[in-house]
Structure 1
Amino acid sequence: MDSMKNKIKLLAVTHHDKKNINPIRPEASQIIGLHRSGEVDVLVLCNPGSILIPYFEKEGIEVLTDPLEKKLSISTVLNIRKLIKNRDVDVLHLFNNIACSNGATAAIGTRCKVIAYRGQTGNVSRWDPSCYLVMLHPRLNKIICVAKAVENDLRKYLWGDKSRATTVYKGHDQSWYQNESADLSDLPIHDDSFKISLVANLRPRKGLHVLMDALALMPEGINIDVLLVGADSNNEKIKEMIQRSTIPKRVHAMGYREDAPEVAAASDVIILPTTKREGLCRAVLEANSYGVPAIVSDTGGNAELVENGISGIVVEPGNPKELADAIVQLYKDRAQCKEFGVNAKRRAVTKFNVEQGVDATIKIYKELTK
């Protein structure tokens, strides 16, 4: 019998306009891992400008393109529907909201099983009609959540079978994290300082204000430097935030950086003070993969990433005092900080590797298509 007939025929639909591979490596590695497994016949549909195309084609994965620009496009729906029927697709895996709204609609009346991806908590309501184009779309057979907290949150809103929501951790490959630490020589870093990094933007839920308020509570004379990746030093709101810290000369807005993992590698600890709607933070896994521990707030999947008191510290969301105490704890006990880093790397390797994500996904495919 032809081995191709035994394979699960997968159409993976994804859309990315990012020019930096770092944010989408886990997704690409999962699709490539499915292809390499020998159990899945993979076809990818993505936008023409996707940075992922050469990565897939290098692996021998067939890639087709569609603009994938609108939440609901008749031409995109018809294109996906045609592919489902002509390629006899068993599983339609939709990796973001644009893919979901168009793909799940295209699958209506077909035999294929439909899977969506869910990356964070919150922002779902049974009373919001737009949610029925994505996470509450009646055509979805399964929703793969990036963390257990995301799964539990989504189940509160699903109609009918709650088990349609399940968890598969995104996989990271340690080969991605072999670069030298970022060169910080262009920054006015203080000698022998304790370096803290945060991937920061102005969205309030990311908790930049919480960190700035925590810095204002630091003991006088503490020798720290704070690296804000993604924060524009010319932005007036960022300037105001930095002044709010009361130690502005020790807070460095670094702007957009494609080497954010390497900046984390140059740090002693990274901070994720999110106040709500978190998933499974890539920045934490990147830092952990370099042996750098994290202090995170207990929201979304953060507490699944960090084992409190063993591989890092978990604090209450929106609590500057608790965050400040955690920073000071690791500042004063560098041996404990390094031990947390060793444990964090071990946790990243054993619990959040590519293989576990691919294996879990194939298991879901087989359960749906048996």
Structure 2
Amino acid sequence: MKILVISNYKSIVTVRPEAEIFIGLAKKGHEITVMTYEGADYIPRFEEHGIKVIPFHPTKKRDKESIAFIREELIKGEYDILQMYNSLAYLNGIPAAKGLPVKVSLYRGYTGNIAWYDPFIYLKYFNKTVDAVICNVKAIEELFVKNYFGNRIIFKTINKGHDISWYQVDEKADLSEYIQSKDNVKFICTANDRKMKGLKYLLKATHYLDKDAPFELFLAGNNMDRPEFLKLIEESPVKDKIHILGYRNDILEVENNCDVFVLASLYGESITKAAIEAMALGKAPLITDIPGNKKLVVSGESGIVVPKADAEGLAEGMKQYIYNPKLIEKYGEAAQNRIQNVFHTSKTVEEYEEFYNELILD
């Protein structure tokens, strides 16, 4: 197959699960060309694996010059598949492909904001030139199917895969200035302050814990010190065990010095990358049952899953780890194995290849 990919590959860490799909396809003998920003960090790795890189990415919506540039490449390259991953690519790549014998595939990684009455959705996902949309989780596919009244566009769930080696770090961040006892169970929540992250429910959960409970809770991310959160911490019976770290650029090292990753999300996310990173490190997960994470953790096997927006449920999950520390090792090992086996990047490559073959023959 000849595949043209348009995406932003500036940051290696952020885009690795996506970029490695096409390196995997190149290894299987497919001809891959990538259009991305000039100077993008992933370019050397693409070129190392024989992938042609065109240092170009649209910077404006429906830009005539960008549309013409992409169209010229599609005609010249006689591609089978045009795969795109962001709005600027969609709004230029879709009109560029109009009338050409190339299958146009988009990507959706966010759960929510999909509605048949939204006029903008017809410029992108429901556009007549689009042949397929790859969805990162089943919940996204289900939303598309519910709101799309045709049968031409194919909506297909393929998780972005990972490899635990990507997230391994040897060092542990020094948290000694916060830790009260080395025997305490250390929980880590990494999230920026957005309503969808449900941080207030996690802080309310601490109100249901005993004052002497042997644990510590670390909060890493932007705006963790907003007044609402500080008030909830101040009112907590275990306020001295809650530590605000703020933004950290060594988050993997911080997670590596903790025992349990906790996520209180309410909606919107597909599979949460922060949870995957922590699980890849062998950290036991405690997450909420939002649709995007529905199959990330098997509750009672590779972690604990509790209802969203349920502070008492989160507290009960925390207690299970606090008072049954053997679960931490058991679920941590199972979580790491689940990422490496169920969500491995090689599986994603195989599913992309199979789907593209079906799309071309359709």
TM-score by length of 2: 0.93
- Provide the rounded CA distance (Å) in 1 between the counterparts of 2:61 and 2:204: 39
Contact 1:296/1:303 (8 A) holds in 2: no
- Provide the rounded CA distance (Å) in 2 between the counterparts of 1:189 and 1:73: 54
- Residue aligned with 1:15, SS: coil
Please list the CA deviations of residues 97-146 of structure 1 after superposition, one character each: whole Å capped at 9, or x if unmatched. Answer: 22222222221111100111111210112222222222222322111111
- Residue aligned with 1:304, SS: coil
Give the alignment partner of residue 320 of structure 1, picking from 311, 319, 329: 311
Which stretch shifts more, 232-241 or 342-351?
232-241
- Provide the rounded CA distance (Å) in 1 between the counterparts of 2:229 and 2:41: 30
Name 1:171's counterpart in structure 2: 161
Q: How many residue pairs align between the two structures? A: 360
- Residue aligned with 1:72, SS: coil
- Provide the rounded CA distance (Å) in 2 between the counterparts of 1:162 and 1:219: 57
Which stretch shifts more, 293-302 or 243-252?
243-252
- Provide the rounded CA distance (Å) in 1 between the counterparts of 2:70 and 2:88: 12
- Residue aligned with 1:305, SS: coil
Which stretch shifts more, 162-171 or 115-124?
162-171
Please list the CA deviations of residues 130-164 of structure 1 after superposition, one character each: whole Å capped at 9, or x if unmatched. Answer: 22222222322111111112211222122312871
Name 1:295's counterpart in structure 2: 286
- Provide the rounded CA distance (Å) in 2 between the counterparts of 1:269 and 1:334: 10
Name 1:123's counterpart in structure 2: 113
Go from structure 1 to structure 2 and tell me whether the alpha carbon gap of 1:267 and 1:297 turns closer, same or farther (over 3 Å shift).
Answer: same
1:331 maps onto 2:318 in alignment = no
- Show structure 2 runs of 5+ residues with no match: none
Give the alignment partner of residue 100 of structure 2, picking from 94, 110, 130: 110
Name 1:138's counterpart in structure 2: 128
* Aligned pairs (5 A) from 1:54-133: 54-133=44-123
Give the alignment partner of residue 267 of structure 1, picking from 254, 258, 272: 258
Which stretch shifts more, 108-117 or 213-222?
213-222
Name 1:12's counterpart in structure 2: 5
Counterpart AA for 2:33:
L
Name 2:32's counterpart in structure 1: 42
- Residue aligned with 1:26, SS: helix
- Residue aligned with 1:228, SS: strand
Percent identity over paired residues: 31
Go from structure 1 to structure 2 and tell me whether the alpha carbon gap of 1:44 and 1:243 turns closer, same or farther (over 3 Å shift).
Answer: farther
Contact 2:203/2:229 (8 A) holds in 1: no
- Provide the rounded CA distance (Å) in 2 between the counterparts of 1:353 and 1:238: 36
How far has the Cα of 1:232 moved from its partner?
4.4
- Residue aligned with 2:159, SS: coil
Go from structure 1 to structure 2 and tell me whether the alpha carbon gap of 1:236 and 1:23 turns closer, same or farther (over 3 Å shift).
Answer: farther
Structure 1 runs of 4+ off > 6 angstroms?
none
Counterpart AA for 1:219:
D
Which stretch shifts more, 254-263 or 322-331?
254-263
Contact 1:187/1:252 (8 A) holds in 2: no
Go from structure 1 to structure 2 and tell me whether the alpha carbon gap of 1:194 and 1:47 turns closer, same or farther (over 3 Å shift).
Answer: same
How far has the Cα of 1:54 moved from its partner?
2.4
- Provide the rounded CA distance (Å) in 2 between the counterparts of 1:16 and 1:213: 39
Name 1:4's counterpart in structure 2: none
How far has the Cα of 1:269 moved from its partner?
0.9
Which stretch shifts more, 23-32 or 83-92?
23-32
Go from structure 1 to structure 2 and tell me whether the alpha carbon gap of 1:205 and 1:106 turns closer, same or farther (over 3 Å shift).
Answer: same
Name 1:152's counterpart in structure 2: 142
Contact 1:231/1:254 (8 A) holds in 2: no
Contact 1:115/1:143 (8 A) holds in 2: yes
- Provide the rounded CA distance (Å) in 2 between the counterparts of 1:271 and 1:127: 36
How far has the Cα of 1:319 moved from its partner?
0.7
- Provide the rounded CA distance (Å) in 1 between the counterparts of 2:62 and 2:279: 38
Which stretch shifts more, 199-208 or 240-249?
240-249
- Provide the rounded CA distance (Å) in 2 between the counterparts of 1:287 and 1:100: 32
Go from structure 1 to structure 2 and tell me whether the alpha carbon gap of 1:64 and 1:199 turns closer, same or farther (over 3 Å shift).
Answer: same
- Show structure 1 runs of 5+ residues with no match: 1-7
Give the alignment partner of residue 218 of structure 1, picking from 209, 217, 223: 209
- Provide the rounded CA distance (Å) in 1 between the counterparts of 2:229 and 2:57: 35
Please list the CA deviations of residues 25-46 of structure 1 after superposition, one character each: whole Å capped at 9, or x if unmatched. Answer: 10111121111111x1000001
- Residue aligned with 1:196, SS: strand
* Aligned pairs (5 A) from 1:181-200: 181-185=171-175, 187-191=177-181, 192-200=183-191
RMSD after superposition = 2.0
Please list the CA deviations of residues 281-307 of structure 1 after superposition, one character each: whole Å capped at 9, or x if unmatched. Answer: 111111111111211111122121000
Contact 2:168/2:280 (8 A) holds in 1: no
Go from structure 1 to structure 2 and tell me whether the alpha carbon gap of 1:12 and 1:339 turns closer, same or farther (over 3 Å shift).
Answer: same
Please list the CA deviations of residues 152-197 of structure 1 after superposition, one character each: whole Å capped at 9, or x if unmatched. Answer: 1222122312871111111111221331243224641221221111
- Provide the rounded CA distance (Å) in 1 between the counterparts of 2:85 and 2:97: 15
Counterpart AA for 2:4:
L
